[in-house]
Amino acid sequence: MLADWWQYDFLRYTLFSGILIGLICPVLGTFLIVRRLSMMADGLSHVTLSGVAAGMLVSKKIAFFSAVNPLFFGMLFAVVGSLFIERLRKVYKAYQDLAIPIILSAGLGLFTVLISVADGFNADLYSYLFGKIVTVSIEDLYALIGVAVVVLGTVVLIYKELFAVSFDEEFARVSGVARRSINLWFMVLVALTIAASMRIVGVLLISALITLPVAASLQIAGSFRQTIFFSILFAETSVLSGLYFAYLLDWASGGTIVLMAVLILLVVLGAKKLRVLLR
């Protein structure tokens, strides 16, 4: 069974994609969660979904676009959506979390209309919703590698600015940090990550991989760096074990990965409880 992962191209692509997603999702997730923006991933994933639907529609109707991967439409929509969220957060200063349901509804509304216009899509759409191993192409993998390089590069280069803005935005501003540009760039990265991770985990479950490993990590980490480290560890464990079982049992990969992440969270919570009881 394990040997299959090296023998077949699509499984290798899936494995590499999974490892990259398990790296970038929790890294961005850590910053999102400490800023109380964990729902952001949900909002953006629905916008991405409408982008994918739009991409499928134009590739079906317009010959010129037939060769374009719907994923790129998803990325485009997600980035535009993230810029809208930042804009809305400024308009509704006192109700910043309102931006997310607005953008989520808009994305979902657009998605359903596009489906009805296209007269329904094939099974390919299902894979974008829930993630499916066999659908990962080399093109998807290249897109993900590009996104991962940009995300990790950014976090390494402006780690201290990201930390300062996340911990105390006002203080960062008073320190002269260009917090607007940093916030905007960060949202664009979240959008790109969601779009690029879709094939594996599926749009509907991507926010789980962004939040669950971090939720478990927060319970045991002794510092911010450790929070990031443990969340990567948990995410990678979820992705690798999830992919393995999904392939073995022929389950949906996204769902299996998320269930693994839930399991890890439960184990961490249980172990912590046990330690308190035994003390």
Partner 1 sequence: MERTTQGTPVVKLTGVSFQYEDKVVLDEVGFTLERGDFVGIVGPNGSGKSTLMKLILGLLSPTKGTVELFGQPLPKFREWNRIGYVAQQVAHGAGGFPATVREVVASGLVGKVGLFRRLTTRHHESVKNAVERVGLSAKLDQRIGSLSGGQLQRVFIARALVAEPELLILDEPTVGVDQESIEQFYGLLRSLKEENGLTMMIVSHDVGVMTQWVNKVACIQKKIHFHGTAHDFEHNQEKILESMYGGSMKLLSHHH
Distance, CA of 252 to CA of 105 (rounded, Å): 26
The nearest distance, CB 34 to partner 1, in angstroms, is 6
The nearest distance, CB 226 to partner 1, in angstroms, is 8
Q: Which is nearer to partner 1, 1 or 174 (CB)?
A: 174
Q: Which is nearer to partner 1, 170 or 250 (CB)?
A: 170
Contact mark string toward partner 1, 22..61, x via CB under 8 A: ------------x---------------------------
Distance, CA of 242 to CA of 261 (rounded, Å): 9
Interface with partner 1 includes 120 (CB under 8 A)? no
18 within 8 A of 243, measured Cβ to Cβ: yes
Which range touches partner 1 (CB under 8 A), out of 3-11, 52-60, 124-132, 152-160? 152-160
The answer for residues whose C-beta is within 8 angstroms of residue 150's C-beta and 6 or more apart is 189, 192
Single-letter amino acid, residue 159 = Y
231 within 8 A of 261, measured Cβ to Cβ: no
Which range touches partner 1 (CB under 8 A), out of 44-52, 138-146, 168-176, 257-265? 168-176
Contact mark string toward partner 1, 176..215, x via CB under 8 A: xxx-------------------------------------
Distance, CA of 221 to CA of 115 (rounded, Å): 44
Q: Which is nearer to partner 1, 149 or 157 (CB)?
A: 157
Distance, CA of 10 to CA of 217 (rounded, Å): 31
Distance, CA of 57 to CA of 65 (rounded, Å): 9
Which range touches partner 1 (CB under 8 A), out of 13-21, 82-90, 169-177, 185-193? 169-177
Distances in whole angstroms, Cα of residue 61 to Cα of each of 68, 123, 128, 170: 12, 18, 20, 49
**Which of the residues 77 through 106 are near partner 1 (CB under 8 A)?**
none
136 within 8 A of 14, measured Cβ to Cβ: yes
Interface with partner 1 includes 171 (CB under 8 A)? yes
Binding site for partner 1 (CB under 8 A): 34, 157-158, 160-161, 163-164, 167-168, 170-178, 218, 221-227
